[in-house]
Chain A
Amino acid sequence: MDKAGKVLVVDDFSTMRKVIRNLLKQLGYENIVEAEDGVAALEVLRSQKIDFVISDWNMPNMSGLELLKQVRADGSLSKTPFLMVTAESLKDNVVEAVKAGVDNYIVKPFTADVLSEKIGQIEKKCG
């Protein structure tokens, strides 16, 4: 993905959003927007062009899985690359996300390198 691309970071914990934002900045991404849950994320996705979504799994109102399903079901958004953030303890749930069409997942805590690697993998598949 182009470093100028717009990344949407979705997490209900604002500190976590900041963590991911910092990591993205280390990787050279400057154009970052945030949303605090799935509902807010959908609003963002529908109001501006987002090139990449990094979403938490467990959030109130709308979980990351539900967000993913909605994104995939929405014609204009369905191709948006989607990276799911999960915790070791919830890793088993990832299978659900994989079935729902997630592009990749990443287990907390992760480093900028791992994030970069995951983004790279998604990029390769999406072309």
Chain B
Amino acid sequence: MQQDRIEALIDDLAAGFLMLDGDAIDIPAAGKLLNAMEELIAEADKREMKPLAGVAGELKSLLEDIVLERIGPAEGTERFTRGISEMQAIVHDAAVAEDVDEAGDRDDVQAVVSRERDVSLPGGETAVEEETESESGEPEFVIQDESLMRDFITESLEYIGEIEINILNLEQNPDDKECINAVFRPFHSIKGVSSFLDLTEVRDIAHELETLLDRARNGEISVDSQIIDIVLEGADTLKVMIGSLNEVLEGDRSRPLYPDLTELREKMAGVDSGEEGGYEKESVKKLGKILIDDGVISEDILEETLQKKTDEKRRIGETLIGEGKATPKHVLSALRKQSKQVMETSTVRVDVKKLDDFVDMIGELVITQTMIKQNLVRLDSADRKLMSDLAQLSSITSELQRTSTSLRMVPIRQTFQRMARLVRDLAKDAGKDVVVAMEGEETEIDRNMVEEIYNPLVHMVRNAVDHGLEKGEERASNGKPERGTVKLSAYHKGGSIVIEISDDGRGLNAEGIFRKAVERGLVSETDDMGEQDIFKLIFMPGFSTAEKVTDVSGRGVGMDVVKQAVEKLRGKVEIRSAKGEGSTFAAFFPLTMAIIDGMMVRVGNEKYIIPATAIRRLIRPTREHYTNVAGKGEMLNVMGELLPLLRLYDIFSVEPLYRDPWDALVVVVDAGGRSKCILVDEVLEKGEVVIKSLGGNFGSLKGISGGAILGDGSVGLILDPEGLFELEETTAV
């Protein structure tokens, strides 16, 4: 009875194979045959018909080779037919003898099939190689399809960027196949397209890197820092190569200039296979460990299973389930714990320009609507229906505005990962062992801000690695772990995104900073300064506490640049530090460059907006606060500090309401490392305004960063405090 199923399967195979007999292989038919063959193997295994399973296994490989065109159809057909007859004979013998085990040892036949298989050559492959190889010798470099090449360059560079990000994930999860695949895939895609575009060198390098990663994926080699370094170097090399193609495209050169690839190739060749299956074992242990921790299996069982496992190719989970030591549910839950859950969101790629225009138009919509509302109020319209409709409209537009702004928001993750790579490189150069921790990578920031915040962050990160963290020995002697930590965190606070860069290094030395500042003449010895104020001294131009300035960052140059860059973005930097425990630099950035949180002030008939981040305080001075020091100009005493007075109406030539400081209001503004008192007639309100560019005609006007349309439809100018200070300093001699 049981034999019937096997006989039926073999008959099916014989019949099905006739369909393969043609000039080209029928792939779907071959697929069915493969499935039938697998069923046959399973059936044979179940009945312990080893010879049958053996022949069937060989035939399955043969079939695969035919499908992959490694064997010509004629040769394949002949061998397949013989194999089928052999199987029929085995089944027949078994039926006669009624004893499966004695069905005759058919090793001889099996050997015939496999011997022939070994001899067969992978014909198709070599042909492809030769063909493209000869093309590389072409003397002239011709771009056949310019637009395709352009697409290729853009997209490839984008993909290489992804490699850089994903490789950091890989470093942290070296045995996560999905992580390897995420790095593998871009190389693979680049290789694919470059082969179509006849970019032999690019294709070859991408192929070699892909092969390296493929070996990692198959567990032949384990992903260690050596591999990661090679892949990063490979990505950089590809970037250079593709960049050079771009030069050709732009007409800057006649043929691409590729870097010397020998070194990279040597490194790739130098990756030894290491101990066999080391990668697999590691991941296996982890799963086993989770199962032990979950109380599913005991350590003894794990050991036992691992020993058995060495001669099988099954994974530990499968083996445990197979032996009934663990239920699939337990293994599955352990596997889930092992692999990080990846959140998948479906996305649409949109041109940033379109998005910007969209957000901009919604800004206009909000303004127009506000103007209509104001007009209605002025007309004293009593139409209640109209007013309620308008209220409805305004709630829709504000929701629309919120949504449109959020469209442009991207998680800060990518920036952090770039930083993490930087830390890694810097730590290596400095000979320090540093681990990067991240928190709040999902915090969102305006896409347009991402590039802007990059430079100041780089400086802070460099600072943390080069100066914040001590060398391993020093740390050890202070009872700290030798490996230093740089932590990147991001969160929202008010209307700002706060990015913190902390290290667990030596911390700022307040005493040292103060002494240095005195030496530099920045402060006087007798100044009584709080710790916070002393920390802020490192932001002053020309300040340096680093004994040794490395080529990547001299702190003195760095920190005032950081402050300026952050302030340019209307942000600010704060420092927290404890000696011996580390420092935290917290940079506050506005969430978007499209909206500014500011204070609206009035001078005469003009309205100005002062960025909220620059405002220190608001005072109403008395006559006693005012001094006019010869040579130093007008000063105001603000809480014991003499600060220069800046008259906006002088700079912008408007007629003010008040000229005397004690009649007017004074806004104390910090910018570019100095503070000044800006004289205004009145403070109107504080709030968010949408920034409008003043348009090309005005270029960049010093002292003004843009315009804003205010609620009543009038226009206010947004002040750029630092530019304003400079403007005042150059005009008032």
Min CB distance A89 to B, Å, is 6
The residue in B64, B67, B124, B192 that gathers the most chain A C-beta atoms within 10 A of its C-beta is: B192
Chain B neighbourhood of A89, CB < 8 A: 188, 207, 210-211, 214
- B344 in contact with A104 (CB, 8 Å): no
Q: Does A95 lie within 8 Å of B64, measured CB to CB?
A: yes
User: Complex formed: what's the CA distance from A18 to B196 in Å?
Assistant: 11
Q: How far is the CB of A90 from chain B (nearest CB, A)?
A: 8
Cα distance A95–B29 in the bound complex, in angstroms: 12
What are the residues of chain B within 8 A of A99 when measuring CB–CB?
A: 31, 34-35, 38
A contact residues around B344 at 8 Å (CB): 61
Pick out which of these stretches binds chain A: B147-155, B600-608, B617-625: B147-155
Q: Is the CB of B185 within 8 A of A12?
A: yes
Fill in one digit per residue for A14-33: 1 if any B CB lies within 8 Å of its CB, else 0. 11101100100000000000
Say yes or no for B419: interface residue by CB 8 A criterion. Answer: no
Is residue A108 within 8 Å, beta carbon to beta carbon, of the partner chain? yes
Q: Give me 23 A-to-B residue pairs in the complex whose CB atoms sit less than 8 angstroms apart, sorted by A's number.
A: A13-B190, A13-B192, A13-B193, A14-B155, A15-B152, A16-B192, A19-B196, A22-B145, A22-B148, A39-B346, A56-B192, A58-B185, A58-B189, A60-B185, A89-B207, A95-B64, A95-B67, A99-B34, A103-B28, A107-B124, A109-B132, A121-B24, A125-B26
Chain A residues closer than 8 Å to B279, beta-carbon distance: none
Instruction: Name the A residues within 8 Å of B30 (CB-CB).
Output: 98
CA distance A14 to B349 in the complex (A): 11
- Complex Cα–Cα for A19 and B24 (A): 26
Which of A18, A58, A101, A108 makes the CB contact (< 8 A) with B28? A101
Q: A66 to chain B: closest CB distance in Å?
A: 13
A15 touches B188 (CB 8 A): no
Q: Is the interface of B mostly helix, strand, loop or mixed?
A: helix
Cβ-defined contact, B28 with A102, below 8 A: yes
A98 and B67 within 8 A (CB): yes
Q: How far is the CA of A101 from the CA of B26 in the complex (A)?
A: 11
CB-CB under 8 A from B27, the residues of chain A are 98, 102-105, 121
Given A13-B192, A19-B193, answer yes or no on A88-B152 (Cβ-Cβ < 8 Å). Answer: no
Query: What 1/0 mask marks residues of chain B from 132 to 157 whose CB sits below 8 Å from any chain A CB?
Result: 10000000000001001001100110
Chain A residues closer than 8 Å to B145, beta-carbon distance: 22
In chain B, residues 373-425, which have Cβ atoms closer than 8 Å to a Cβ of chain A? none
| 3 interchain residue pairs of minimum CB distance | A109-B195, A13-B189, A98-B31
Q: How far is the CB of A54 from chain B (nearest CB, A)?
A: 13
Assess whether A91 is interfacial by the CB under 8 Å rule. Answer: yes
Query: Which of these, B151, B181, B214, contacts A14 with CB under 8 Å?
Result: B151
With A16-B193, A88-B125, A125-B28 in contact, do A58 and B188 touch (Cβ < 8 Å)? Answer: yes
Q: Which residue of A lies closest to B178 (CB)?
A: A60
Distance in Å from the Cβ of A42 to the closest Cβ of chain B? 11
A32-71, CB under 8 A of B: which get 1 and which 0?
0000000110000000000000001011110000000000
8 Å CB contacts to B: which residues of A88-125? 88-92, 94-95, 98-105, 107-109, 121, 125
CA distance A89 to B64 in the complex (A): 15
| B-binding residues in A (CB < 8 A) | 11-16, 18-19, 22, 39-40, 56, 58-61, 87-92, 94-95, 98-105, 107-109, 121, 125
Point out the residues of chain B lying under 8 angstroms from A40, CB to CB.
346
Per-residue interface assignment for chain B, residues 152 to 191, with 1 indicating a CB less than 8 Å from any chain A CB and 0 otherwise: 1001100100000000000000000000011011001111
Contacts of B35 in A (CB 8 A): 99
**B128 close to chain A: CB less than 8 A:** yes
Question: Which residue of the partner chain A has the closest CB to B34?
Answer: A99
CA distance A60 to B183 in the complex (A): 11
Bound CA–CA A22/B35 (angstroms): 36
Closest to B184 in A: A58
CB of B435 within 8 Å of the partner chain: no
A98 and B67 alpha carbons, distance in the complex (Å): 8
User: CA of A100 to CA of B32 in the docked complex: distance in angstroms?
Assistant: 9
What residues on A are CB-neighbors of B355 within 8 Å? none
Tell me if B68 is interfacial: C-beta within 8 Å of chain A.
yes
| Minimum distance in angstroms from B196 CB to a CB of chain A | 5
| A24 → B minimal CB distance (Å) | 13
